[in-house]
Amino acid sequence: MSRRLTHIALVYAKELKETLRDRRTLAVMVLFPVVVYPLLSLLVGQVIVDRESRYEERPIAVAATPGSQVAAQLRTDEAIKSLKLTYLANGTAADVAGRHLDAFVEQLADNGPPPHPIRIVFDGSREDSLRAQSRVSDYFRELLVPGSAHQFAVAEKDIGTAVSRGGYILSKVVPLLVVLMVILGAFYPAIDTTAGERERNTLETTLVAPIKRVDLLAGKVLSVATLALITGLLNLGSLSLTFVQIARSADVGSLPLPWARLAMAALVLPPAAIMFAAVMVMAATAAKSFKEAQNYLTPIYFAFFAPAVAASLGEFPLTLGWSFVPGLNITLLTRDLILGEARFVPFLCFLLSTITVTALALAISARLFDSERLLAIATRDPSSKKTGLLARLAKQKEGTDIRPLDAGDAATAFALAVVVFWILAPLSQKHLFAGTIASQWGGMLAFTWIYVRLRGLPISQTLGYVRPQNRFIISAILIGAGGWMVVGMLTQWIKPPSQEVTTSLRHMLQALSAPASLFLFALTPAVCEEALFRGLILRGLLRRFPPALSILIVSLLFGLFHFSTDRLLPTATLGALLAVLAWRSGSLWPSMLVHVLNNGILTALALSGKDEAFDKLSVTTQSVALAASVACVALGLVLLRHGPRLPSIPPSG
């Protein structure tokens, strides 16, 4: 028995060792669940909550029988405020069907004692109309006359057709499921035709034939797209028929479906299937094995899945902006097509976005297909193979394995920093000053320095604490002087901070002295965030990726780290400016200077109560100020055009 237990233990230890030495497995096992998925979920959650709150605030368009008591009641200030309604005096019941009104309230009899009978006419196949019906109905049901009798007796009339209702119910379920099925339909074929073929050793034989690699790629993408499309269409048909069957068996009666609209919705599937196929083939082509491809495709699946889920929850109009977001736009467009509410311009934007993503994925795949990497030939010196963390640490101790930072370090550091920051960040809510010191100086700066030291590297050279050329300081001053306004305008354009946020920020500042505020909100982030993002992460990425891609990645990570969808783009823009500066100057000091100027100016404005002064300026003055800021940033960037580019880091490759 003990011999058998020993065998089990040996096999167990060997399997664990082998698996944990695979960095990609570790990434999927740790990085994604601990960092990427919660981060994405958080962002998706924010989007949903934001959309829902905006939706709740949206007014409803209501009319009532002219000259009736109910009309008079609806026109009172109290009703308009509590119902958030827009009263349309000339509206009729027919306008509900024509989508000009959300609800029409008919007063059936004026005479006699209360309750007076009224009837709410609404369209049960429209979300806005249902919301209006719910609000108006609740309002009148709770309206009492002196003596606690109900003032109105409420009845309801749904004018939605059976077909529309069927379409409405389908639109709640089908789009998300169909999108998910199309993605799933592409998932395994994409792996099978690329990494799977490589693993089965059949790829080389095909590449030996006189066939253009791009043609080979096109054939593969089309086959994957076809399978994904078939999966999507089968699911669309199957779900619709299942729905009909459920309606019958649930004794709901005959619930006809808008088959013509469903057929129209199916038109979304071919471009979507081609896009999913192209993206997944691209990722799987970069993988050397089936397992590795699964690791690569899982986050891609999630990246499409998350926005699709967000789109399916709650009332989410397909705006121009959203129609460019892959995954989300497919769900929303499918829904709108089923409801018969699709508009041409968002449809065009969806096509444009889908074609762009597809073309980008195909271009990357074509490069991969044309490269020798496709044959998965080992190009590394076998002696440089890594063997687990402990072995490497031992080698570092001996001074025999001191590798510079790489992309793996960047990913690991980001993941750990997010976890550390999440643990420490609540402290700053309890005690602003001490908590921020702990999360920023401890969770970010000390963490970064310790990481670098544990890797056996010198802090100052590795992170870029080196003296820059004077012109980079001038460049930083120019970018810092103008950048805050450019980023601020971008924030205003996307979504201005709510009054609640502004007030809360003011209270925080008032609780501190001016020097303490500047130290906490200007100097601290400049020192700590620069060390992590433009120091460790950017420099690690630059060893693996081209500069433009490295800057893009680190900027997005910087944006994501601020845990706010509204601030994602402005923060990422600031991050990009800082990253370009750090890359070009080869030093961390200029980006720290820009960061401190950016945050310092904003903090000083808030402290002096002038943070809203810009809004009060005339449009001309605002335009001049903005133009001057853009010019400052542009001039600062021009100064960066020549000179060293991170001289302490060898070129990527």
Partner 1 sequence: MSNLAIQCQNLEKRFGDVVAVASVSFSVAKGEIYGLLGPNGAGKTTTMRVLAGLLAPTGGHVEVSGVDVSTNADLAKQQLGYLSGGAGLYARLSPREIMTYTGRIYGMAIEQVNARTMALATQLDMTSFMDRKAETLSTGQKQRVCLARAVFHDPPTLILDEPTSGLDVFASIGLRQFVLSEKARGKGIVICTHYLAEAELICDRVGFVHQGRIVKEGTPTELREATGASSLEQAFLAVVQAQ
Which residues contact partner 1 (rule: CB under 8 A)? 200-202, 204-212, 372, 375, 377-381, 653
Looking at beta carbons only, is 202 or 498 nearer to partner 1? Answer: 202
**CA 405, CA 457: separation in Å to the nearest integer?**
9
Give all strands of the β-sheet with 152-158 in edge-to-edge order: 85-87, 60-64, 103-107, 116-122, 152-158
Minimum distance, C-beta of residue 373 to partner 1, in the bound complex (Å): 10
* Phi, psi for residue 120 in degrees, rounded to 5: -95, 120
Closer by beta carbon to partner 1, 2 or else 379: 379
DSSP string, 247-313: HHHTT-------HHHHHHHHTTHHHHHHHHHHHHHHHHHT-SSHHHHHHHHHHHHHHHHHHHHHHHS
Least distance (Å) between residue 198 CB and partner 1: 10
- We find the least distance from the C-beta atom of residue 209 to partner 1, in angstroms, to be 5
DSSP letters along 124-157, please? TT-HHHHHHHHHHHHHHHT-EETTTEESEEEEEE
Q: How far is the CB of 403 from partner 1 (least distance, A)?
A: 15
Closer residue to partner 1, CB minimum distance, 146 or 382: 382
Contact in structure between 39 and 418 (CB atoms under 8 Å): yes
Considering the complex, state which of residue 78 and residue 381 has its C-beta at the smaller distance from partner 1.
Answer: 381
- The residue (of 379 and 620) whose beta carbon lies closer to partner 1 is 379
As a whole number of angstroms, the distance between CA 98 and CA 304 comes to 35
Q: How far is the CB of 281 from partner 1 (least distance, A)?
A: 18
The 3-state secondary structure of 440-489, one letter per residue: HHHHHHHHHHHHHHHCCCCHHHHHCCCCCCHHHHHHHHHHHHHHHHHHHH
- Computed from CA positions of residues 234, 237, 243, 245, in that sequence, does the dihedral angle turn out positive or negative? negative
| Residue 475 CB neighbour total at 10 angstroms | 28
Q: How far is CA 551 from CA 121, 445, 533, in A?
A: 56, 20, 10
Share in percent of the chain as helix, strand, coil (round to 5): 70, 5, 25
For partner 1, the closer CB: 119 or 403: 403
Q: Would you say 100 or 288 has its CB closer to partner 1?
A: 288
Q: State the Cα–Cα distance between residues 454 and 393, nearest whole angstrom.
A: 8
- Pick the closer one to partner 1 by CB: 385 or 641: 385
Q: Which amino acid is at 58?
A: R
Report the distance separating Cα 381 and Cα 384, nearest Å. 6
Q: Give min distance, CB of 447 to partner 1, in A.
A: 33
What is residue 386's three-state secondary structure?
coil
Min CB(382)–partner 1 separation in Å: 9
Tell me the C-alpha distance between 174 and 4, whole Å: 52
Q: Which two tokens stand for residue 632?
A: 């400052």
Residue 279 Cβ vs partner 1, minimum distance, rounded to whole Å: 25
Smallest separation, CB 199 to partner 1 (Å): 9
CB of 651 to partner 1, least distance (A): 12
Residue closer to partner 1, measured from CB, 206 or 387: 206
C-alpha distances (whole Å) from 111 to each of 116, 152, 237 are 8, 12, 53
Identity of the residue, 377 or 390, whose beta carbon is nearer to partner 1 in the bound complex: 377
